[in-house]
Structure 1
């Protein structure tokens, strides 16, 4: 484990934006995301699928739409350790922990409480589940040295278009600056700007579903909240 950046040891006295946070994606080829999202491109038809650690192209295609939370975790671990396990190793661990369930062709999850227990037990992160969270709550999290995985509308990649619904996708909020802008990374962003993005707090709130999981990188923080299961959908 690498020494923590100063942003992770902040006592909560002012705005913090965690840096560096790499804008990783849940799809092996970021340049295919636009076609996947808007043109019906089969995500399994990705020449780089094996880089995720998936055992087969078919299994990658089945799961990649469900792995936004695992990519958020990958980004947090990379920020802390300068390296993170392969995406499929994280998926396997979360699946064993019950953070995903599979019933035939249906994949259910991310289920927050088992996920929080998994990241604490396996990766040494403090984790707190927030089944009800407002924007004021979000503002208090990053100054206290935490990053927050939050449920948002997938259409947050095009923020000038009002969303039809909220929730169904996870992004990683890694800071709110002194001007009130939310800094976040989006695992399904279809452009560089949408993968590593900033939005005014009120505009971010138009997409925010009011739930999430905060992750604390400090060793002394390794406790997990006890909260009923909540889905990222």
Structure 2
């Protein structure tokens, strides 16, 4: 449902969403992202559902969307499968596509949204166009938003990133100054849970697209 921009909104909305990193050990995210520690050395790799450290390494860099999905499931008190179980189901649903060159395409929003609605008591809407102006309205309605941003948003660099998008974060709230997100590749203690992206800075990172998620009671 699209809400009129004239609707009065609360000044602050914060949804109490549990946090999941896209790595099994959230406190190691910075060391892995900065290549000081190979992901294969994450001691909790088995908890990811991977069959080997090498499989974990390959997938963990690509599953920001599955971390967002796990947070969403936990928020609505639904069972939370491992990241690898969710990824396998998304491959089957066409939301991830393994390329002949060994790469991976996705997360592809439309098949992901169909898969999410078919698999859980959730509403999911693919939004290839999602204006910043709608984000507060949707959060105020109780929705969570998977938003495409550049991964450097975790550190808010002073210069513009080379492109917008390429990484998914979960928008979980806002106040007058900032959007609040759970960032799957954020750094422990700085930019993981309820990380603040100032509204004045969001346009530098946000690609203007995402997936809108909601709980479904019937």
TM above 0.5, yes or no, is yes
Question: Quick one: structure 1 residues 14 and 61, their matched pair in 2 at CA, closer, same or farther if it must change by over 3 Å?
Answer: same
Question: Quick one: structure 1 residues 210 and 123, their matched pair in 2 at CA, closer, same or farther if it must change by over 3 Å?
Answer: same
What's the secondary structure of 1:60's corresponding residue? helix
User: Which residue of 125, 129, 136 corresponds with 2:133?
Assistant: 136
Alignment of 1:45-194 (within 5 A): 45-81=41-77, 83-104=79-100, 105-162=102-159, 163-177=161-175, 179-194=176-191
The superposition leaves residues 92-144 of structure 1 with CA deviations (integer Å, 9 ceiling, x where unpaired) of: 11111110011241111100011001110001211111111221022221111
18-27 vs 107-116, which moves further? 18-27
What's the secondary structure of 1:73's corresponding residue? helix
Q: For the residues of structure 2 that align with 1:128 and 1:16, how far apart are their CA atoms?
A: 24
> TM-score by structure 1 length?
0.83
Q: Which residue of 2 aligns with 1:203?
A: 201
The runs of at least 4 aligned residues of structure 1 exceeding 4 Å deviation read none
Question: Quick one: structure 1 residues 102 and 17, their matched pair in 2 at CA, closer, same or farther if it must change by over 3 Å?
Answer: same
Question: Quick one: structure 1 residues 126 and 18, their matched pair in 2 at CA, closer, same or farther if it must change by over 3 Å?
Answer: farther
Structure ranking higher in helix proportion = 1
Unaligned runs of 5+ in 2: 1-6
Question: Quick one: structure 1 residues 62 and 12, their matched pair in 2 at CA, closer, same or farther if it must change by over 3 Å?
Answer: farther
User: Which residue of 11, 15, 19 corresponds with 2:15?
Assistant: 19
Question: What is the root-mean-square deviation of aligned Cα atoms in Å?
Answer: 1.9
Q: How many corresponding residue pairs? A: 209
> TM-score by structure 2 length?
0.88
Residue 200 of structure 1: CA displacement? 2.0
Q: Which residue of 1 aligns with 2:33?
A: 37
The superposition leaves residues 54-80 of structure 1 with CA deviations (integer Å, 9 ceiling, x where unpaired) of: 122221111111100000010011011
Q: For the residues of structure 1 that align with 2:97 and 2:36, how far apart are their CA atoms?
A: 26
Contact kept in structure 2, 1:153 and 1:167, CA below 8 Å: yes
